[in-house]
Amino acid sequence: MNNTPHAPVTVIGLGLMGQALAGAFLKAGHPTTVWNRTPAKAAALVAAGARSAPTLGDALGASPLTIVCLTDYDAVYELLGANGVEPDPTTPIDTTPIDTTPIDTTLINLTSGRAGQAREAAEWAERRGARYLDGAIMAIPSGIGTAEAVILHSGPEQVFAEHASTLGALGTVTHLGADPGLASLYDVAGLAMMWSVLNAWLQGTALLAKAGVDAATYAPFARQIAAGVADWLPGYAEQIDKGSFPAEVAALETDARAMEHLIEESEAMGVNAELPRLIKAMADRAIAAGHGGEQYPVLIEEFGKP
């Protein structure tokens, strides 16, 4: 029933993202109930066929699946009841009541946050009787409802399986594992990838600009390099998982010499050399620890430190 093509669904939080989520459910034919702190934001969705829940309690009881998408976890707790963690009995100053009203729905919290917050929220939801998945949206509102929208979920596999076809209305949905923190971790890992690629591209763009090459001319070359490097990941991942880094292509020392060229070139051209220096500093530490003859992914040891 829950996983039928037209299972009912509720969306709580109708900001830019919540409205896109509710709109995608409606478009896919799901009877959709909506609720927002500022009720006016439900108007367009109601005009498109959504039902506006008169109260939050009504919204929470309306569907077997309830999506929550608010600003942050503090907003989720403020809205859904009391604080996220049980008060410490040894600190009697904390008199915040724990709301124990049962929540009889599957809650999927697509609010962005950290892994620890997701795990805490999973415990909180369990205490309230709800089935809980945490999620992360790797898309912008206009992409929701298309295959380009990647939406990550973590928590009990069976809960995900029960609602996977309904969630499919939102985009490409994935279940990452039972640990509720995984969706948030993949989210930030993806952002680390995104910013690193973009920063590396900007470094090269700034350098080439000094020689009169515009960004559009450099972009196809940069894209080719990024795609080539991406192809190395499976082999490098194998080295990391084995903990063995034979220099099959190049030794870290060879990379370090090229890093020095990048620093010198950046300084000579009068562009920012902070990023190349940071990269070189990490390689230097690994070389000082005796890893100069090994391959680049041995740097995982530097990344794995606090």
Positions that interact with ligand NAP (CB under 6 A): 13-18, 36-38, 41, 69-72, 75, 78-79, 111-112, 137, 140-141
Choose between 8 and 171: whose C-beta lies nearer to ligand NAP: 171
User: In the bound complex, what is the minimum distance in angstroms from residue 21's beta carbon to ligand NAP?
Assistant: 9
Quick check: 292 and 251 in contact, CB under 8 A? yes
User: In the bound complex, what is the minimum distance in angstroms from residue 71's beta carbon to ligand NAP?
Assistant: 4
Residues 219, 227: Cα–Cα separation, whole Å: 12
- Cβ neighbors of 296 (< 8 A, separation 6 or more) are 236, 250, 252, 255
The separation between the first and the last C-alpha atoms of the chain, rounded to the nearest angstrom, is 47
E strands in the chain: 9-12, 32-35, 51-52, 65-68, 106-109, 131-138, 150-154, 172-175
Quick check: 27 and 44 in contact, CB under 8 A? no
User: In the bound complex, what is the minimum distance in angstroms from residue 121's beta carbon to ligand NAP?
Assistant: 13
Choose between 38 and 90: whose C-beta lies nearer to ligand NAP: 38
User: In the bound complex, what is the minimum distance in angstroms from residue 131's beta carbon to ligand NAP?
Assistant: 21
Choose between 84 and 292: whose C-beta lies nearer to ligand NAP: 84
Q: CB nearest ligand NAP: which residue?
A: 15
User: In the bound complex, what is the minimum distance in angstroms from residue 74's beta carbon to ligand NAP?
Assistant: 7
Residues 236, 241: Cα–Cα separation, whole Å: 9
Choose between 10 and 111: whose C-beta lies nearer to ligand NAP: 111
